[in-house]
Amino acid sequence: MSRELYASVHATEFAAQALLRMRADLKGEPVAIVDGPRHDACVCAMNRAAAQRGVVHGLPRMEAEALPGLQILDRSVAVEAATRAVLLEAAAQFTPRLEMASSGAGCAVVLDVTGCELLFGPPSVLAGKIRAAMEAVGLRVSVVLSANYHAARLKAAAHRGLCIVAAGAEAETLAHLPLSALDLSLAEQETFEIWGIRTFADLAALPENELIARLGAQAREWRAMARGVARHTFQPIEAAFALREVYEFDAPVEQEEGLLFMAARMVQCLLERATAHALALASLTVELMLEGAPMHSFSVRPALPSQEQRFLLKLLQMELAAHPPPAPVLAMTLHAEPGKTGKVQMGLFAPQTPEPARLDVTLARIKAMVGEDRVGTPVLEDSHRPSGFHLAPFRADAASQPRTASSERAALRRVRPPRVLQMMLANDSPAFFHDLSDSFRIAVAYGPWRSSGAWWSVDAWDQEEWEVMATDSRGQSLGLLLVHDRLRCEWRLEALLD
C-alpha cells in the first residue's frame, strides 16, 4: 500500500483574493479590504501591493484612506462563499477526499492524495498541477505535500509557493515556524514567552512529561505538531458541484453596459469551470440585488447547452433589454445549470440544419417583438376544454412523437380567430347564418354536443358544437364546425371540415 500523502492548499488574504478575482481593472493596484461598521471598520485583508505600501491588519479605515493610491473595498461574505466553492471545485479535480482547514485571514483545504502519484506524477509534478488548477480559477495559493497532515497544513500557512516535505524531515522543516502558528490562547502564548520558547524547534526540545505537568494534556498535541508526528483522523467533506458566481458593485449601477461588462467576466468563469468537467451551460439565471427594491431575476435557456461565450452574452443582453431592472443594481449573481454538449452526426447528402445559436437569437428577437407568451411549443392541457393548450419553452432536443400509419380521415382546419356569425334557428337547430362576407343556408346539421366546465373561475365555458353542411350564395357546399357559446350568447365559425 502507498504511504499516506497530504497536499495542503492555502490561499492567503482570501477576502482580498475573492473580491479581486473578478476585478481585472485592479490588477497590480494596492487594494485593502475593510470589515466592520463604517465608523469602526478596519483592514482585514490586502494584496501584496498594499502590504508593500505599509498596510497591516487592523489598520483603521480612516488611516487607510489617507494612504495615496490605495483602493479600499468592503468585505463581501457572499463573494467569499462563492469563491470558496470554486476553490473546492478545483481541488476536487485531483481527489474527492477534501477537508477544510482554514485559519486566520486565509482559506485552506487539505487533500488526501494518497496513491494519486499514479495519475498525476511524482509529488513535485502533482504540486505544480494543483497550483496551476488554482491559478486557472484566479486564486494564488501555496501548496505543500507531506506524509503528515499537520505538517502540510502548518507549512502551507507559513510558506509561499511549492514545498515537498520529505518523509522523516517534518521536524526540520517546521523548526523555524513561530508558535503563533498554533491555536494558542493569549495566556499560553505569554507563558511560552516567559520561558523563552518562540519557535517549533524550541517547543519540540522540551521534555514531554514536564510540559504536560505544567500546561495539561493539550501540550502533548502541540509538541507532537512541532515534531511533525501528530496524528489526525481525516474528515472529508462533500463538495457539491454548483456553478455560481457573485459580484458586488462598488456603487449602484444603472447602465446596461456596466452590467454586461461584468456579466462577460462571470460567464467566462462559469464556462471555464463547466469545460473542466466536459460540460456546457444549459441555462443561466441572473439575480440582481436592487437599491430600495425587491430582487430582480430572469433566466436564459438556450435550445441546446452551449460553450460559446459571445452567444450566451447575446442572449443575456436581449433578455436584459426585455426585462430591465427597475432600480440601480447593487450586486449580481449568476447561477448556471450544467448540461452535456450535443454532438450531431451529419449525413453526407443531408441538408444542413440551422445552428442552435442562430435559432436562439431568432427566438429571442421574435419574443421581443410579439411577447414572450406568444412564442413556444404548443402543449395540450389535461382538460375537457375544447382546444385547451398552453405554450411551453421551445426545446430543440425534445423527443418527437413517432408517427404511425393510419387510414385517411377528415381534416379539421381551425379558423384563427373564430368568426362571429349572425344565426337564424329553426326548431332549435341552426338553419341560416350570415358573416361579414357571405350568407349560408344549412342543409344538414348534426348536434348539439354540449360541454362545460371551470364554473369556479373566469375561464369557465359552456358551449354547444354543431357539425353542418352549408351552401353559400354561389351554390358551393361546405362542411363547417359551428359553436354556440351559451355564456356569451354568440355563434362562431370555429373550423372547416375537409
The 10s digit of each residue's pLDDT in 316-373 is 998 898 889 999 999 999 999 998 876 656 666 666 666 666 777 777 788 778 877 7
The 10s digit of each residue's pLDDT in 175-188 is 999 998 888 889 99
Given CATH 1.10.3720.10, say whether it is the number of domain 249-339: no
Task: Give the rounded percent of residues in the chain with a pLDDT score beyond 90.
Answer: 53
| Of 102, 96, 91, 89, nearest in space to 130 by CA | 91
With a cut of 50, say whether residue 286 has pLDDT above it. Answer: yes
pLDDT average, residue stretch 20-48: 89
Residue 452 · residue 461 · CB < 8 Å: yes
Nearest-angstrom CA–CA distance, 57 and 38: 17
pLDDT of residue 132: 94
pLDDT average, residue stretch 434-456: 88
Q: How confident is the model at residue 2 (pLDDT cuts 50, 70, 90)?
A: low
Which residue carries 512529561 as its cell?
209
C-alpha distances in angstroms, 368 versus 214, 288, 320, 321, 325? 77, 21, 11, 9, 16
Q: Which amino acid is at 92?
A: A
With a cut of 50, say whether residue 1 has pLDDT above it. Answer: no
pLDDT of residue 354: 61
Nearest-angstrom CA–CA distance, 415 and 420: 11
Q: Which amino acid is at 217?
A: A
Options 3.30.2010.10, 3.30.499.10, 2.30.42.10, 3.40.1170.60; CATH for 6-173 is 3.40.1170.60
pLDDT of residue 278: 86
With a cut of 90, say whether residue 9 has pLDDT above it. Answer: yes
pLDDT average, residue stretch 369-391: 80
Grid cell locating 163: 514545498
pLDDT average, residue stretch 45-58: 91
Axis-axis angle for helices 356-370, 309-322 (nearest 10) = 10
pLDDT of residue 362: 79
Nearest-angstrom CA–CA distance, 257 and 317: 9
pLDDT of residue 44: 92
pLDDT average, residue stretch 429-433: 92
Mean pLDDT of the chain: 87
Q: Report domain extents, the chain.
A: 6-173, 249-339, 412-497
| pTM greater than 0.75 | no
- Name the burial class of residue 193, with classes exposed (0-12), middle (13-18) and buried (19+) by CB atoms within 10 angstroms of its CB: exposed
With a cut of 80, say whether residue 481 has pLDDT above it. Answer: yes
| Of 118, 70, 66, 73, nearest in space to 94 by CA | 118
| Of 62, 147, 158, 50, nearest in space to 108 by CA | 158
Nearest-angstrom CA–CA distance, 46 and 350: 60
Residue 305, number of CB atoms within 10 A of its CB = 20
Residue 177 · residue 200 · CB < 8 Å: yes
With a cut of 50, say whether residue 192 has pLDDT above it. Answer: yes
Which residue carries 348534426 as its cell?
446
